[in-house]
Structure 1
């Protein structure tokens, strides 16, 4: 693992051991290490038990044989529940660690002030996969790798001493052989790490392409664009499989080396201990113990050789995870927020507002000035693409790159309604109560609001407020927009921002929705295109083709004036 990635990984994962759950973390680790020590002690006992059994057979000492065979069996009986429980304890620690890491990432991602900006950041691909899959995989591989190192260290300490007493030559041979093997694996296996990182990236882009297509299935079908999407998916699949083919080839090469490494040394213990046995300097049991101890020492010293594939996969997963966390931390530190100053006030006041693109390279709109007193309503109009929605997002706090000052109520007292409302699987009642910022209305009040918005037909068709389904499919676009208006009226924020939030309604229902908002007394800034909504506003902010803007009285204003 590259040093930079290693340091960042330790920073991301290390908070579990230094944060609020450190007592739990270190307790589980202490238990696991204790069990590893016990398991290694049992392995030493097995080594000496096996030696005693073989010696009793060699010297035909029947009484000793039965005694040692029962001792030998007893060691396995004692060790079985310990070794069997070890995996359970490891998984319990993994569970605690994953919970902590996932909660940390979720808290950073689902930040009300930054969520939309983070998800829209091109550096963030498949955030759900990184939290749900990458975090789990990285922790699993990291624990397996680290525990393999700890276990190898304990085994090395235990069996190196035994092997030194039996044959110093064998111990030195194991050290030299493993050093050469580890050097070769690190030297030529480095390419595998880069391939694994590239594979993770290509898999992510392939998955994002599939998700994008399924999320936009209706629009794609309306254009009969499935064939074009198939071509895009196939291209991503081709790139993914091309890199995977390289991964397979390098896996073959490293596997061949590993198998040869393991097989080549098998006869060495016999070659070294056989002359000592024939000379009477070593009995049969000692010879068997020397062979098994040599295997354990060599295995401990060769842990990098044996786990390098795991190490490469761990590196790739850690690279994706820490890159994701880096982006989250950037936003936590105020990334993209410099420029536009936000001040809390009862009404809305925008002074010398200029808004940049997310990368900060281009200014979308500038020199915007207007104010709206508490309880008043302002309509923003202008040519398509001039930046009306950008102004709304800047007021809502969703676009912060630029300059100027925006004064508005606190973010928790602002509701922004986009053109496409958010709907989710659940009951019909839950759709209206989302996101539950205030005391929910009674069913009588809710039914009255549905009637006022012309949603009686939806209620009758679905069979009541407790009807449950995926409402993205169960409602028309216009019905979804009326539900969003109902949410606004239920939550009663100090400021409502409507970004073409009634575009899917007919003129009558749009007028009805704006009348309800006017009667609620909620301060409102909106973008709409129909003449009929002008009368429900107090002022109109007109943005002209040249980017200049002016505020005019809504009385007497006509949309034709924009032509």
Structure 2
């Protein structure tokens, strides 16, 4: 697809009305029946349809049994009553098995469909660092993790129930309207001396009543959709606030920010309450419609069949059969009444899932709409790193770095420095491929193994061994190699805890987490290492110990690091200084004269 076509598609997406989102969600989710798992999807769908057919057959059999039983009771036919009594347990068992089978089939389909969609969205979100870029480029898409974990469930599970309910209701309505038409027969009326015959009057009455009740339910429930959407959004924001508080608990506790955080939490919850009150009001209106309908449904068929029963045209068994059939038709047609609240909740969750899908889809083409330039990434032909006319910008277009023309030979150790706010970390993220906004070119060696070391290394859940080996693709690392790297990085005292599983992200100090990142570097042996304040939590002696790795164990690696602490220059060959200017920070470089710091013995460091 060319850029003009992509731009047209993006523009169309931007102007798409919100009411179409649930359709877009369905288009995305229905891929379950067309992809690799289509065979499983269709098998489960067929099983659900079979169970629905068995369930309808059981209902029709019980309806017919009602007529025979009450006819035998009216005529005091003991033999017929005995056969009906014997047959009843079999009919009940058939109905129970059909209902149980439908439940199991439906829940299995829900589970497998949710599994497929979760894998698709989670994979999409985690691929190509979209989880990172989404926070920058589409910050309005709050709580993507909530949308994947919860909204997918709330969008998929009810949809299966709706489909099963709709098919069951449709089949039930058609079958029992047929019974009303044939068993109820025609109604003869004398109006002003004229004889009027109404064929199948009970069938018509059931459909007309259901249409009126369904219309009232629709108009009563329609305003509920935006009310539910607002409540779900408020709930997601409230959850996000609590999660943020938990993640920053230590910082908040140290500065005694409890009162401010409580005020913020309660303010967010008040938004939830306000949205909830709107939903409660709409639910009250719907409950009124449901209550009136529930009171009328059992009485209307009795009133309609009473004239024919009193004239002897209908037996007691026929009256009971027709009454049960009329109620069954209403239950089928009132499916929308009974599910109007859930339909509204489903649409709200489906909209939120589609918003996430749209945001993920538009990440790579947003630049076309915004008419901004992106940094061009390419492959160098001389195994060195080239920055050619590189300009790095914020997403709003403001240039933070301009005029960068730098060549970084293989094995060179480059220190990036400059005043706060000149874009040092942004430059590092651009080199790591995480920041595309700007212009110019970044050329990297072909198939180079690049490692990025942030200021706060990530520690996953699990054992300490898993934390040390996180993101390392080489699975042939022996215990001796791991233990040696840990001792080399001053973490030897943790070797005995390697196979212990606990919250290491909370147990390890900031300095220990940074040492863990250097353990990974020793085991991974990357060709290019990009660091952002990677030693900020270490004391000076520990920093010297870690930086000496680049002159010894990792001497052949190209290193690009951001740092401002004393002693950093002694372990780098060149220094790039970002200087603040009106048009954006510019880069100057100079070679560094090595001191004797790196010759100090650090054998006593732990």
If the TM-score is normalised by the length of the shorter chain, which range does it land in?
A: over 0.9
Cα deviation digits, residues 390-447 of structure 1 (max 9, x gap): 0000010010122111112468721111111111332222222111222453222323
Aligned counterpart for 1:86 among listed residues 74, 95, 102: 102
2 CA distance for matches of 1:338 and 1:382? 25
1:368 aligns with 2:400: no
Deviates more, 1:379-388 or 1:469-478: 469-478
Alignment gaps of 5+ in structure 2:
1-16, 185-199, 596-606
Deviates more, 1:349-358 or 1:383-392: 349-358
- 2:550 corresponds in structure 1 to 517
Quote the offset at 1:72 in angstroms: 2.9
Q: Are the structure 2 counterparts of residues 86 and 410 from structure 1 closer, same or farther at C-alpha, using a change threshold of 3 Å?
A: farther
1 CA distance for matches of 2:475 and 2:84? 75
2 CA distance for matches of 1:200 and 1:410? 47
- 1:176 corresponds in structure 2 to 208
1:356 aligns with 2:393: yes
- 2:172 corresponds in structure 1 to 155
- 2:531 corresponds in structure 1 to 498
Q: 1:158-307 counterparts in 2 under 5 A? A: 158-167=175-184, 168-307=200-339
Cα deviation digits, residues 177-232 of structure 1 (max 9, x gap): 22222222222322110010001100000000000011001111121111111100
Q: Are the structure 2 counterparts of residues 186 and 365 from structure 1 closer, same or farther at C-alpha, using a change threshold of 3 Å?
A: farther
Secondary structure of 1:555 counterpart: coil
1:125 aligns with 2:174: no
Secondary structure of 1:540 counterpart: strand
Secondary structure of 1:52 counterpart: helix
2 CA distance for matches of 1:2 and 1:446? 53
Quote the offset at 1:470 in angstroms: 1.4
1:103 aligns with 2:119: yes
Aligned counterpart for 1:137 among listed residues 136, 139, 154: 154
Aligned counterpart for 1:471 among listed residues 504, 510, 514: 504
Deviates more, 1:530-539 or 1:497-506: 530-539
Q: Are the structure 2 counterparts of residues 333 and 493 from structure 1 closer, same or farther at C-alpha, using a change threshold of 3 Å?
A: farther
Deviates more, 1:332-341 or 1:149-158: 332-341
Please tell me whether the aligned partners of residues 228 and 279 of structure 2 are also in contact (alpha carbons under 8 angstroms): yes
Q: 1:296-375 counterparts in 2 under 5 A? A: 296-331=328-363, 339-345=374-380, 346-358=383-395, 360-375=396-411
Quote the offset at 1:284 in angstroms: 0.6
Please tell me whether the aligned partners of residues 130 and 360 of structure 2 are also in contact (alpha carbons under 8 angstroms): no
Alignment gaps of 5+ in structure 1:
558-563
Secondary structure of 1:524 counterpart: strand
- 1:437 corresponds in structure 2 to 473
- 2:92 corresponds in structure 1 to 76
- 1:561 corresponds in structure 2 to none
Aligned length: 553
Cα deviation digits, residues 8-56 of structure 1 (max 9, x gap): 1211211101111111111111111111111111111111111001000
Question: TM-score, normalised to structure 2's length?
Answer: 0.87
Q: 1:415-454 counterparts in 2 under 5 A? A: 415-454=451-490
Q: Are the structure 2 counterparts of residues 410 and 499 from structure 1 closer, same or farther at C-alpha, using a change threshold of 3 Å?
A: farther
- 1:378 corresponds in structure 2 to 414
Secondary structure of 1:101 counterpart: helix
Quote the offset at 1:334 in angstroms: 7.1
Secondary structure of 2:103 counterpart: helix
Secondary structure of 2:551 counterpart: helix
Secondary structure of 1:489 counterpart: helix
Please tell me whether the aligned partners of residues 199 and 240 of structure 1 are also in contact (alpha carbons under 8 angstroms): yes
Tell me how large the CA RMSD over aligned residues is.
Answer: 2.0
- 1:65 corresponds in structure 2 to 81
- 1:532 corresponds in structure 2 to 567
Deviates more, 1:168-177 or 1:55-64: 168-177
Please tell me whether the aligned partners of residues 385 and 409 of structure 2 are also in contact (alpha carbons under 8 angstroms): yes
Q: Are the structure 2 counterparts of residues 325 and 383 from structure 1 closer, same or farther at C-alpha, using a change threshold of 3 Å?
A: same
2 CA distance for matches of 1:96 and 1:469? 31
Aligned counterpart for 2:63 among listed residues 47, 51, 59: 47
Please tell me whether the aligned partners of residues 119 and 127 of structure 1 are also in contact (alpha carbons under 8 angstroms): no
Q: Are the structure 2 counterparts of residues 161 and 67 from structure 1 closer, same or farther at C-alpha, using a change threshold of 3 Å?
A: same
2 CA distance for matches of 1:291 and 1:88? 31
Please tell me whether the aligned partners of residues 370 and 541 of structure 1 are also in contact (alpha carbons under 8 angstroms): no
- 2:191 corresponds in structure 1 to none
Deviates more, 1:327-336 or 1:496-505: 327-336
1 CA distance for matches of 2:346 and 2:498? 48
Please tell me whether the aligned partners of residues 108 and 332 of structure 1 are also in contact (alpha carbons under 8 angstroms): no
Cα deviation digits, residues 514-561 of structure 1 (max 9, x gap): 12023311111111112312122121111112222112112279xxxx
